[in-house]
Amino acid sequence: MAWMAWTWPTAAFFVIIALLLVTFTILAIRYPETPRVGVLGIETTRGDRLFITLLGSAFINLAWLGLVGVAQPAALLVCLIFAAAVFRWV
């Protein structure tokens, strides 16, 4: 049943996602927050902004693969800038 190539980058991706979810759960329990309204005009919490960041980063990486094709680490920089913007203004 080798339906997926489990490489170190693949494993690291899933470990980082799991750690983010655990961290944000602990933050929500220890430091509850009230939703805030950002540039999208909707109320968002930390978890909402994390979801928007992960979804947007997936699309950034797919677009990068389609347009550039290589040098995926450069897309990581774009994703980090996107994440900072989402957590600041959304």
Name which residue leads in pLDDT, 6 or 51. Answer: 51
pTM for the full predicted model: 0.83
CA separation, residue 68 to residues 49, 50, 64, 75, 77 (Å): 27, 26, 5, 10, 14
24-83 pLDDT, tens digit per residue, is 999 999 999 889 999 989 999 999 999 999 999 999 999 999 998 877 889 999 999 999
Q: For the residues 10-37, what does the mean pLDDT come to?
A: 92
* DSSP result, 12-66: HHHHHHHHHHHHHHHHHHHS----EE-TTSSEE-HHHHHHHHHHHHHHHHHHHHH
pLDDT band at 1 (very low <50, low <70, confident <90, very high): low
